[in-house]
Amino acid sequence: MDNRAIKKRLRQEALARRDALDPEWRIEASLRMADEAAHIGMEPGATVSGFWPMRSEVDVRPLMFALRELGGRLCLPAILDKQTIVFRELVRGAPLVDMGFGTAGPGPEAEILQPTLMLVPLAAFDRRGHRIGYGAGYYDRAIAKLQAGPRPPRLVGIAFDCQEVERVPDEPHDVVIPEFLTESGLHSFTPAL
């Protein structure tokens, strides 16, 4: 079986486990994760990219708002085309628009920011810091571009513990994420290829 097929199977299995979680439990777990905001150790004035949750994802909004209370400037991904996302500022009271995939974000009038702390959505992850996204590669491309810049962002994967898999197949374009926040806390993994 090739890496693409293995990733597809691992993604489907991890998402099925996530979907099977009790919706009320997911809400409580998401709120517990927001309590970890102070432990994330964000730099003052950091630009934090989060994401508007879709389907059974961790509801990262309470965490984002907690980080804003600690001085973070928030932004959300905006899909520009089939290859590119940018991060637009999330301002209190500003309208959100449909971004596709069942998610929302700031409209084109919002300022484009360069995140210094990225809360990264995912379908599955392993303890080496490898992740499986949703298959379109938006985050892999956006992170690679930001990492090539003058100030690479700090990456924190966001998931439930049930999304952990034994091993994500390695591919040359993979972005390794050294930290993951789950309902059991902030975990630092030693990236290894």
Distance between CA atoms of 127 and 180, rounded to whole angstroms?
Answer: 9
The three-state secondary structure class of 36 is coil
Question: What does the pLDDT look like over 46-61, one tens digit per residue?
Answer: 999 999 898 999 999 9
Whole-number pLDDT of residue 183: 96
Nearest to 12 by CA among 163, 173, 180: 163
**Residue 193 pLDDT level (bands cut at 50, 70, 90):** very low
On whether the CB atoms of residues 114 and 47 are closer than 8 A, the answer is yes
Distance between CA atoms of 113 and 76, rounded to whole angstroms?
Answer: 9
Question: What does the pLDDT look like over 159-179, one tens digit per residue?
Answer: 999 999 999 998 877 788 999
**Residue 192 pLDDT level (bands cut at 50, 70, 90):** low
Distance between CA atoms of 85 and 78, rounded to whole angstroms?
Answer: 5
Give whole-number Cα distances, 16 to 84, 85, 98, 183, in Å.
28, 26, 25, 18
Mean pLDDT, range 65-75, rounded to an integer: 94
The three-state secondary structure class of 69 is helix
Name the amino acid, one letter, at 27.
I
Distance between CA atoms of 59 and 49, rounded to whole angstroms?
Answer: 14
Question: What does the pLDDT look like over 8-42, one tens digit per residue?
Answer: 999 999 999 999 999 999 999 999 999 988 889 88
Nearest to 74 by CA among 50, 106, 99, 104: 50
Burial readout 62-93 (b: 16 or more C-beta within 10 A, e: otherwise): bbbbbbbeeebbbbbbbbeeeeebbbbbbeee
Question: What does the pLDDT look like over 94-153, one tens digit per residue?
Answer: 888 877 767 788 989 999 999 999 999 999 999 999 999 987 788 888 898 989 888 999
